[in-house]
Amino acid sequence: MLRNLTVLIILMLSVSILATGCSTPSEPVELTYGGNSQPEEDPTEPPPPTIGLGLGDVAPDFTLPDSYGDDVALSSLRGGPVLLFFWATGCVYCEEQYPRMQAFHEDYADSLTVMAINLDDDPQLINAYLGDRGLTFPCLVASGDLQQTYDVYSVPHALLLDDEGIVTFNNHPGYLSEVALQEEF
């Protein structure tokens, strides 16, 4: 009797296993979340850059008027490196950096866009100020929003972006040497 019961239990277990299917899928299972399929992640691929101001981040896009009233979008400057130079007319330390920015603008005109961003003045004053000093790099007129977005609370301040808009330098422009600039190219 015990033997018959054991055989019966084994038989029932075998039938239940066969009925429910105990196999390994022959194709990879696609993970879903809420019914939406999720792409498989390639662990060898680096994650895409985030928008931000840290090294390796994509600089936040903006559109500002230049000192002549024409709108310029940062994204329109992609395709080559861009040096953003935040400054103000009353800044003594900015005055020390103008010759360097002008030299970068002239020496690397074919491979670098130097874009000054003034934080405190009206366009006529900016144009007169630049003209009096023989500075020819273009200048945008910023709003307080951009200053906050870019965390610029003291000037002068510089950001170097590569041809895809990724931040490769974010600091005082005095620390951006010509050697470092050449290495970027």
- Check which CATH number belongs to the domain holding 71 and give it: 3.40.30.10
Which region among 42-51, 53-62, 77-86, 115-124 has the lowest average model confidence (pLDDT)? 42-51
Contacts of residue 103, Cβ cutoff 8 Å, sequence gap at least 6: none
Task: Classify the phi-psi angles of 62: left when phi > 0, otherwise alpha if psi is within -120 to 50, otherwise beta.
Answer: beta
Q: CA-to-CA distance for 137 and 72, rounded, in angstroms? A: 14
Residues spanned by the domain of 175:
63-184
**Do the domain assignments include residue 38?**
no
**Do the domain assignments include residue 48?**
no
Q: CA-to-CA distance for 61 and 181, rounded, in angstroms? A: 22
Helix (H) or strand (E) holding 139: strand 139-141
Q: CA-to-CA distance for 71 and 84, rounded, in angstroms? A: 16
CB of 178 within 8 A of CB of 72?
no
User: pLDDT tens across 53-94, in order?
Assistant: 999 999 999 999 999 999 999 999 999 999 999 999 999 999
Domain count within the chain: 1
CB of 93 within 8 A of CB of 101?
no
Closest CA to 61 of 46, 48, 47, 71: 71
pTM of the predicted model over 0.75: no
Q: CA-to-CA distance for 122 and 65, rounded, in angstroms? A: 11
Cα–Cα distances in Å, from 138 out to 77, 84, 126? Answer: 13, 10, 10
pLDDT tier for residue 31 given thresholds of 50, 70 and 90:
very low
**Do the domain assignments include residue 1?**
no
> 12 by DSSP, 3-state: which?
helix
**Do the domain assignments include residue 131?**
yes
**Do the domain assignments include residue 31?**
no
**Do the domain assignments include residue 30?**
no
Mean pLDDT (whole number) for 37-61:
79
Q: Residue 169 phi/psi, 5° resolution?
A: -150, 135
**Do the domain assignments include residue 6?**
no
**Do the domain assignments include residue 12?**
no
Q: CA-to-CA distance for 46 and 62, rounded, in angstroms? A: 26
Q: CA-to-CA distance for 142 and 64, rounded, in angstroms? A: 7
Which region among 4-8, 115-119, 135-139 has the lowest average model confidence (pLDDT)? 4-8
